[in-house]
């Protein structure tokens, strides 16, 4: 299984998360692209740090909402979504190229992630950007979601992910962050869920039912206090359970055409 | 000689210039990259329109100053300049790739242009971004300027440009826009200057002296009222004088590596 | 009846609308506050021009979405809406105070207007800002809307407005701009509708039914081509019909406490 | 003497400084106004927390440079500076009014502070905004600077401040942050300098000479690690030396006109 987490989410004078520590744990790094976080210099340093560790770089694209950290739903026209994704994807690709690596996949962030997961039209608008930019680029989205199916339907590589520290509803959706208990913080519980997800492909939902998950990647959070410690704990549990950790996307090194 | 002009400088609900008309005249288009103008959807439409006409696309990178249209000098650290240029260059390259073309050169905008032209350290910070992104990419800057020499000294292709509608000082610098007479508006005068620049490699400065210009491109302005008409007038005068118009950078079509 | 229109919607190098011409026609000016349009210098000039004509100044507050001109719905928490409104209201009040006038009412813009008109919770979040800032300040919103009722329920002065150049549904809502025929452009038709609204308090909906409107203000648009001409046409028609034009809010001059 | 520090410099998801702890120590709070930091909700919470403690609120106005935290010099026209200051001053005043308090003074931030301190024209552009907004509002700026004199020359109340944790040159300027030793971090040394400044009105410059300071306020920094602890240490040392701490501006409660 692949382990992914968000990095590059500092902005100018503001620091968020402990990217160095997170990059030591994950196999894939969702790097912000400037619309919800990530000034250019932060991105250059983050991508350089990822490349130095052989961590695969993905573009984490967002709605243009810096003050809301991309977490507030916005009603964009599909062609605005496509253009915004292209812009961010290219921007991070430029940064990555300068760091001797390349963007190897795309993952929406925050409210764009939620909407793309549940709304096929939004997923299609995101996929359209990827298709026009590079149809070989995988898209990472919530395992089992309508949006992931919509991405796959366009012919792109659609990779499902699951969340060891998020509560699931019985129908396989994430419980909204606005609900109590949406985010799990007990390290043992999170680690145990990660192992069951990676080895059994399933998770226990909030109502006690068992939900099947078809996920090739497991998302860890990097922006909560103690996130890096929790990530290390999950990785150790997975390795102890004999799970082989590897990126889902080929480790891309930029090659001149 | 090459004819270049700024396009893609609308932003959301705000329209600036008549890009379609300008693209009908020039051989190279300096497309904004979002920091001084140019939202992603505008950029996608602009680059598509340029590609449809075979106009070569350049990235017009700026200080991050939307409200000041990139025209106000800012004191950035060199590594901030480099990262900002990489981000913008990549963003436009992503847009261009989706439009079936590619970014073929880079040109700084506004206050970054002015500072890069006069200050070798700023020029070097810009050049560093280009070198790391693609050392084959030419940089367009004021003919005869210290900055252009600094770019050339890094080993990059440094292309000089001149301005038929701007007044020059005796030492070959542009008269500041804050000075009266800095911008020429008489079509006949501008056209005549363009022909002399293209055929004789010289311009008459504000003190009446003749200044030598080593320029492979001639910049037309697209954002003034009647700009497209003036551009057509200049092009017609150049063609009447037997000047062959062609882009200085190879018309780039994106090729998969 | 009062005539209101949007002004101050230029931004830096980008000009939108013909504010001087619009200010010659209206009795109340909805001045942008920087979140969807209106840089500080533009606002200072606009408010100064309004004050010089005795036009009453209102704060037109928006979601923070410059690139989308505040026209894209955003999902903000109520306390974010309240704080955003307070910030914008205060900003324009500061500008107005320097121009020797004051903000005399508040009107939401674009997507915030639409949501506040249909959603009582959003209207209440806007009203909460006004109540905390100055409970004597009227709020201008769509006549007959649930949001207007919600504002009135807080004890604030809620003023209804109607649109002579927008199509109405049979239940008194504006037809979405995404629908064909949503915006009327025939000057005679718009003028005739304005007169019927002002004298009869009614409008003919898209299905031919007659809708009652309880409106003390009539909104004219300033950002469409020919907007100023249409506004003059409407004003002339109203005056010819004997309608007395006057601002609904007292013309406020700033008084030191 | 007055103790002032910067607060309200978080932004959306990003937290900076420990405002609650700092507000427990100072007598005056320089609250960000959104141009370099401080989203509206953060500002509302910060001003509310200041008001609850009886801490006087000042508007800390900046160049519009969020990504650079207002620390990068920008070349604005004087009327842009004036309009930008008015906008920010009003915005914070609106927030303060909702919190039952008022803005009692103005202090420039970062690069605008530096330029206003050394450049009389910039100081005058800032002062012009204050004069037009409320000529009774004091302006806080570097003690002994040309800018402070320029503010005083306009007839406004110009209040000098000094920095216990910053190195001074022999001519009374702050050593640039780019120089080594510009910021002092040893608590004992900072406390001792604060006491000498408050009781003796002098500081030892980097060359060993003694510089006279005419300062009614002492600035503490809130954004460095351990800032709140250092602030408490300084306050304790001042109180132990018998210095009476009080705001220089009257604690303003908003009064309806």
Neighbouring chains to B with at least 3 Cβ pairs closer than 8 Å? A, C, D
Contacts of B15 in chain C (CB under 8 A): 14
Interface check for D66 against chain A (CB to CB < 8 A): the answer is yes
Across B156-167, average pLDDT: 96
Compare all CA atoms of chain C with the CA of A178 and give the residue at the minimum distance: C77
Is the confidence at residue C224, as pLDDT, over 60? yes
- Residue A213 or C256, more confident: A213
Is the confidence at residue D222, as pLDDT, over 70? no
C 16-45: CB under 8 A from D:
34, 39-41, 43-44
How many Å lie between the alpha carbon of A140 and the closest alpha carbon of chain C?
24
**D119, exposed or middle or buried, with CB in 10 Å at 0-12, 13-18, 19+?**
middle
Interface check for A69 against chain D (CB to CB < 8 A): the answer is yes
Local structure of C61: helix, strand or coil: strand
Interface check for C93 against chain D (CB to CB < 8 A): the answer is yes
Interface check for B97 against chain A (CB to CB < 8 A): the answer is yes
Q: Tell me if D227 sits within 8 A of D184, measured CB to CB.
A: no
Q: Tell me if D157 sits within 8 A of D139, measured CB to CB.
A: yes
Q: Do A11 and D14 touch (CB under 8 A)?
A: yes
Q: Per-residue pLDDT tens for B44-60?
A: 999 999 999 999 999 99
Q: How confident is the model at residue B223 (pLDDT cuts 50, 70, 90)?
A: low
**Residue position matching structure tokens 């070198």:** B131
Across D122-133, average pLDDT: 98
pLDDT of residue A257: 39
Bridging pattern class, strands D210-212 and D202-204: antiparallel
Of A44, A84, A132, the CB nearest to B86: A44
Q: How confident is the model at residue D23 (pLDDT cuts 50, 70, 90)?
A: very high
Contacts of A15 in chain D (CB under 8 A): 14
Is the confidence at residue D253, as pLDDT, over 70? no
Contacts of A74 in chain C (CB under 8 A): 65, 68, 72-75
Contacts of C76 in chain A (CB under 8 A): 68, 72
- ipTM, 2 decimals? 0.95
Is the confidence at residue B2, as pLDDT, over 70? yes
Interface check for C214 against chain A (CB to CB < 8 A): the answer is no
Q: CB count, 10 Å around CB of D44?
A: 26
Interface check for B65 against chain D (CB to CB < 8 A): the answer is yes
Helix (H) or strand (E) holding B38: none
Is the confidence at residue D257, as pLDDT, over 50? no
Q: Give the least confident one: B184-198, C134-148, C211-225, D32-46.
A: C211-225
pLDDT of residue C257: 39
Across C222-236, average pLDDT: 84
Across A111-136, average pLDDT: 97
For residues B33 and B42, what is the distance between their CA atoms, to the nearest angstrom?
Answer: 10
Interface check for A72 against chain C (CB to CB < 8 A): the answer is yes
Across A47-51, average pLDDT: 97
Of B64, B67, B75, the CB nearest to D73: B75
Is the confidence at residue D187, as pLDDT, over 60? yes
Q: Do D90 and C86 touch (CB under 8 A)?
A: no
Q: Which residues contact B216 (CB under 8 A, 6 or more apart)?
A: B1, B2, B159, B160, B161, B248
Local structure of B153: helix, strand or coil: helix
pLDDT of residue D177: 82
How many Å lie between the alpha carbon of B151 and the closest alpha carbon of chain D?
24
pLDDT of residue A161: 97
pLDDT of residue A223: 65
Q: Tell me if C81 sits within 8 A of C51, measured CB to CB.
A: no
Q: Do C133 and D255 touch (CB under 8 A)?
A: no
Contacts of C63 in chain D (CB under 8 A): none
Is the confidence at residue D235, as pLDDT, over 90? yes
Contacts of B94 in chain A (CB under 8 A): 86-91, 93-94, 133
Q: Per-residue pLDDT tens for B92-113?
A: 999 999 999 999 999 999 999 9
CA distances from D141 to A153, C242, D66, D159 (A): 62, 58, 22, 6
Across B4-20, average pLDDT: 95
Bridging pattern class, strands C210-212 and C202-204: antiparallel
- In C8-94, DSSP assigns E strands to 28-32, 56-61
- Dmax over CA atoms of chain D, in Å, equals 53
Across B172-196, average pLDDT: 91
Across D86-110, average pLDDT: 97
CA distances from C193 to C25, C159, C218 (A): 17, 20, 11
Contacts of D118 in chain B (CB under 8 A): none
Q: How confident is the model at residue D252 (pLDDT cuts 50, 70, 90)?
A: low
Q: Per-residue pLDDT tens for A9-44?
A: 999 999 999 999 999 999 999 999 999 999 999 999
Compare all CA atoms of chain B with the CA of C66 and give the residue at the minimum distance: B12
Is the confidence at residue A1, as pLDDT, over 80? yes
- % pLDDT > 70, chain A: 96
- % pLDDT > 90, chain B: 89
Neighbouring chains to C with at least 3 Cβ pairs closer than 8 Å? A, B, D
Average per-residue pLDDT for chain C: 94
Compare all CA atoms of chain C with the CA of D80 and give the residue at the minimum distance: C41
Q: Tell me if B16 sits within 8 A of A54, measured CB to CB.
A: no
Compare all CA atoms of chain C with the CA of B10 and give the residue at the minimum distance: C14
Residue of A32, A39, A62, A67 to mutate for D, most D C-beta atoms under 10 A: A67
Compare all CA atoms of chain D with the CA of B80 and give the residue at the minimum distance: D68
Of A95, A255, A257, the CB nearest to B255: A257
Of D10, D13, D68, the CB nearest to A12: D68
Compare all CA atoms of chain A with the CA of B129 and give the residue at the minimum distance: A98
Of A39, A68, A71, the CB nearest to D67: A39
Across D247-253, average pLDDT: 77
Average per-residue pLDDT for chain A: 94
For residues B238 and B197, what is the distance between their CA atoms, to the nearest angstrom?
Answer: 10
Is the confidence at residue A254, as pLDDT, over 80? no
Is the confidence at residue B42, as pLDDT, over 90? yes
- Provide φ and ψ at A143, rounded to 5°: -55, 135
- Provide φ and ψ at B149, rounded to 5°: -65, -40
Average per-residue pLDDT for chain B: 94
Q: How confident is the model at residue D227 (pLDDT cuts 50, 70, 90)?
A: confident
Q: Which of B65, B67, B69, B85 is nearest to B77 (CA)?
A: B85
How many Å lie between the alpha carbon of C98 and the closest alpha carbon of chain D?
5
Q: How confident is the model at residue C251 (pLDDT cuts 50, 70, 90)?
A: low
Helix axes A120-133, A146-153, angle to 10 degrees: 40
Q: Do D66 and A12 touch (CB under 8 A)?
A: yes
pLDDT of residue A256: 40
How many Å lie between the alpha carbon of C113 and the closest alpha carbon of chain A?
15
Contacts of B68 in chain D (CB under 8 A): 64, 74, 76, 80
Contacts of B71 in chain C (CB under 8 A): 13
Average per-residue pLDDT for chain D: 94
Contacts of B97 in chain A (CB under 8 A): 90, 132-134
pLDDT of residue B56: 97
pLDDT of residue A243: 96
Of B44, B255, B256, the CB nearest to A83: B44
Q: Do A66 and D66 touch (CB under 8 A)?
A: yes
- % pLDDT > 70, chain D: 96
pLDDT of residue B250: 82
Of D67, D68, D75, the CB nearest to B73: D75
For residues C142 and B160, what is the distance between their CA atoms, to the nearest angstrom?
Answer: 57
Q: Do D39 and A67 touch (CB under 8 A)?
A: yes
Residue C85 in tokens: 């409104």
How many Å lie between the alpha carbon of B65 and the closest alpha carbon of chain D?
8
Beta-bridged to residue B7, according to DSSP, are B31
Of C10, C13, C69, the CB nearest to B12: C69
Interface check for C64 against chain B (CB to CB < 8 A): the answer is no
Instruction: Please provide the DSSP assignment of A190-225 as one string.
Output: HHHHHHHHHHHSEEE-TTS-EEE---SEEEE-SSST
Q: How confident is the model at residue C144 (pLDDT cuts 50, 70, 90)?
A: very high
Interface check for B169 against chain A (CB to CB < 8 A): the answer is no
Asked whether the whole model's pTM tops 0.90, one would answer yes
The two counts, helices (H) then strands (E), for chain A are 8, 9
Residue D219 in tokens: 């600035």
Across A163-184, average pLDDT: 91
Across B19-40, average pLDDT: 96
Q: Do C98 and D257 touch (CB under 8 A)?
A: no
Is the confidence at residue A218, as pLDDT, over 90? yes
Local structure of A155: helix, strand or coil: coil
Contacts of B80 in chain D (CB under 8 A): 68
């Amino acid at each position: 299984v692949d382990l992914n987490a968000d990095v590059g989410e500092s902005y100018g004078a503001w620091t968020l998360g402990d990217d160095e520590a997170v990059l030591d744990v994950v196999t894939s790094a969702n790097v912000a692209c400037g619309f919800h976080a990530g000034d250019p210099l932060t991105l250059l340093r983050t991508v350089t740090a990822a490349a130095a560790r052989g961590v695969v770089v993905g573009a984490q694209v967002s709605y243009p909402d810096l003050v809301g950290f991309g977490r507030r739903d916005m009603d964009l026209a599909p062609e605005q979504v496509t253009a915004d994704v292209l812009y961010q994807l290219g921007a991070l690709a430029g940064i990555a190229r300068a760091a001797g690596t390349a963007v190897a996949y795309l993952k929406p962030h925050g409210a764009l992630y939620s909407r793309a997961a549940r709304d096929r039209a939004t997923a299609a608008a995101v996929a359209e950007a990827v298709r026009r930019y590079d149809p070989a680029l995988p898209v990472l989205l919530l395992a089992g979601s309508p949006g992931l199916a919509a991405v796959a339907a366009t012919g792109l590589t659609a990779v499902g992910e699951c969340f060891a520290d998020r509560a699931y509803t019985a129908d396989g959706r994430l419980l909204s962050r606005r609900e109590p208990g949406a985010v799990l913080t007990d390290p043992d519980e999170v680690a145990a869920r990660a192992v069951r997800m990676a080895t059994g492909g399933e998770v226990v939902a909030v109502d006690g039912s068992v939900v099947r998950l078809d996920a090739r990647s497991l998302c860890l959070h990097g922006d909560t206090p103690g996130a890096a410690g929790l990530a290390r704990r999950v990785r150790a549990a997975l390795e102890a359970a004999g799970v082989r950790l590897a990126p889902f996307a080929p480790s891309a090194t930029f090659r001149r055409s």
